[in-house]
């Protein structure tokens, strides 16, 4: 098939040849002025050599690369990439009998920019970030069905959460929200009304780490959503868990998840603003001891560069308050999922919070996403989730 062409300026082809999947508008020397958002285009060098096939964008990010090689059959390319991503999750030990919820496609990390697919025990939840991937929905449906076979019960298009003017709904089959397993633990997932695609799959490994640290500790799970860290803490041997979130419906599911994974430990689901909750505990009474393990897993404080400065200030305040809640000898697990706040900036901000607290803090480990959220080595911008394990002394 012949596609419209985009020609790059001299010397602008090098980044594409290094397999970076983004091409910005300033790199373009020539293009058809009638190109529309999401249209597939061929990218060529100033000498006419083929560089890539990708989605065109009318903003500063002009092309997202779908293939660095010429494409004779688009449907075949997509089927191959979806099948490879499916097989990788099995080869990498992610998809097992004990874990029935995982990310099938992680956008650029799987060579499919703008496409997220999460697997919930037979239900594929699709998010298209942009007109380009959404325009290929028929290809996605074909490829998903071919790769998963009879294990697939339904495909739910959740792109309406991302793109204005679209409605979310089932595009193949039907299913009801229900329980999935993660490392043998049960979690209720509602992909129709929940945050993200229904569950924060990117924290799977970090929840397991939390469980290993939780033994014998009193745990605070701040921004706890549906209680993922809380369930792991209970299973790991915590003596008490508090889950704090501003969403009452999320906390109701958190309580349901705790009940689905029987434990005798005390659990409190507390509906509150986390900043206010932490601030209210500034004067700890004798019957309200500090926590031995605090988890801070806030939503993204910045989704663009304009919000970065305010986000860094918010992370500093949050971590200062969180550190104040940790008992001597306790632990803090702290995270940021803001892509525009990179690891260096995040760690510097947490260090500033530690200095503010006046306490001795040691770094025990750095955390990130699990294997089903791969990041292209040639696209570091795909990194967003970062975390720290900190030991806190008096």
Average pLDDT, the chain: 96
Residue 191 lies in a domain: no
At 272 the pLDDT is 96
For 168-226, what is each residue's pLDDT tens digit? 999 999 999 999 999 999 999 999 988 889 999 999 999 999 999 999 999 999 999 99
- Asked, for residue 374, whether it belongs to a domain, the answer is yes
**Number of separate domains in the chain:** 3
Catalytic annotation present for 128: no
271 shares a domain with 155: no
Q: Which helix (H) or strand (E) holds 89?
A: helix 74-91
User: Using 50, 70 and 90 to split pLDDT, how confident is the model at 288?
Assistant: low
52 with 82, same domain: the answer is no
Q: Give 231-285 pLDDT, tens digit per residue.
A: 999 999 999 999 999 999 999 999 999 999 988 899 999 999 999 999 985 444 4
Domain stop point among 38, 67, 96: 67
**Residue 186 falls inside a structural domain:** no
pLDDT at residue number 373: 99
CATH of the domain at 251: 3.40.50.150
The larger pLDDT score, comparing residue 113 to residue 197, is at: 113
Q: Considering Cα of 166, then 167, then 173, then 177, what sign does the dihedral take?
A: positive
> 310-362: per-residue pLDDT in tens?
999 999 999 999 999 999 999 999 999 999 999 999 999 999 999 999 999 99
pLDDT of 283: 44
CATH (domain of 45): 2.30.130.10
Question: 292-306 pLDDT, tens per residue?
Answer: 999 999 999 998 999
Domain boundary among 19, 39, 67: 67
- Looking at the structure, do residues 162 and 225 belong to the same domain, yes or no? no
Together in a domain, 113 and 169: yes
Answer whether residue 46 shows pLDDT above 50: yes
Are residues 21 and 85 part of one domain? no
| Centroid of chain to Cα 56 | 25
Burial of 335 (0-12, 13-18, 19+ CB in 10 A): buried
Do residue 262 and residue 165 come from a single domain? Answer: no
265 lies in some domain: yes
- The answer to whether residue 130 sits within a structural domain is yes
Are 214 and 166 in the same domain?
Answer: no
Q: Kindly state whether residues 51 and 125 are assigned to the same domain.
A: no
209 and 324 fall within a common domain: yes
Domain that holds residue 160: 74-181
CA-CA distance, 132 to 135, in Å (whole number)?
5
Identify whether the C-beta of residue 315 lies closer than 8 Å to the C-beta of residue 301. Answer: yes
> What backbone phi and psi angles, to 5 degrees, belong to 163?
-115, 130
Assess whether 224 and 175 both reside in one domain. Answer: no
Q: Does residue 188 form part of some domain?
A: no
Active-site entry in 144, 180, 331, 337: 337
pLDDT of the residue at 9 = 96
CATH code of the domain covering residue 92: 3.30.750.80
The percent of the chain in helix, strand and coil, each rounded to the nearest 5, is: 35, 30, 35
């Amino acid at each position: 098939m012949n596609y419209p062409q985009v020609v790059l300026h001299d010397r602008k082809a090098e980044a594409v040849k290094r397999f970076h999947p983004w091409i910005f508008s300033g790199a373009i020397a020539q293009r058809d002025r009638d190109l529309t958002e999401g249209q597939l285009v061929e990218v060529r060098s100033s000498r006419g050599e083929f560089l890539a096939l990708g989605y065109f964008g009318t903003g500063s990010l002009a092309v997202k690369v779908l293939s660095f090689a010429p494409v004779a059959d688009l449907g075949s390319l997509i089927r191959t990439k979806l099948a490879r991503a499916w097989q990788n999750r099995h080869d990498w030990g992610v998809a097992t009998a004990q874990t029935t919820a995982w990310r099938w496609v992680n956008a650029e990390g799987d060579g499919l920019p703008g496409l997220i697919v999460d697997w919930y025990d037979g239900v594929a939840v699709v998010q298209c970030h942009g007109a380009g991937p959404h325009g290929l929905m028929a290809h996605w449906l074909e490829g998903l069905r071919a790769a998963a076979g009879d294990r697939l019960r339904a495909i739910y298009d959740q792109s309406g959460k991302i793109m204005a003017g679209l409605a979310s709904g089932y595009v193949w089959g039907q299913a009801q929200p229900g329980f999935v397993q993660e490392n043998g633990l049960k979690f209720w997932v509602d992909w129709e009304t929940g945050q993200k695609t229904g569950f924060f799959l990117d924290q799977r490994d970090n929840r397991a780490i939390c469980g290993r640290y939780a033994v014998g500790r009193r745990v605070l799970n701040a921004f706890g959503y549906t209680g993922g860290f809380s369930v792991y803490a209970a299973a790991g041997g915590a003596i008490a868990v508090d889950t704090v979130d501003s969403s009452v419906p999320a906390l109701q599911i958190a309580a349901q998840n705790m009940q689905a994974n029987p434990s005798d430990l005390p659990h409190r689901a507390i509906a509150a603003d986390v900043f206010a909750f932490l601030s209210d505990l500034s004067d700890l009474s004798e019957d309200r001891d500090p926590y031995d393990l605090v988890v801070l897993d806030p939503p993204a404080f910045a989704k663009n560069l304009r919000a970065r400065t305010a986000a860094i200030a918010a992370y500093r305040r949050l971590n200062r308050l969180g550190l104040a809640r940790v008992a001597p000898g306790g632990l803090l697990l702290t995270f940021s999922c803001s892509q525009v706040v990179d690891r260096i900036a995040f760690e510097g901000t947490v260090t500033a919070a530690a200095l503010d607290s006046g306490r001795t803090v040691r770094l025990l480990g750095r955390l990130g996403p699990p294997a089903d959220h791969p990041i292209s080595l040639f696209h570091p911008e795909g990194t967003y989730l970062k975390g720290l394990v900190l030991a806190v002394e008096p």
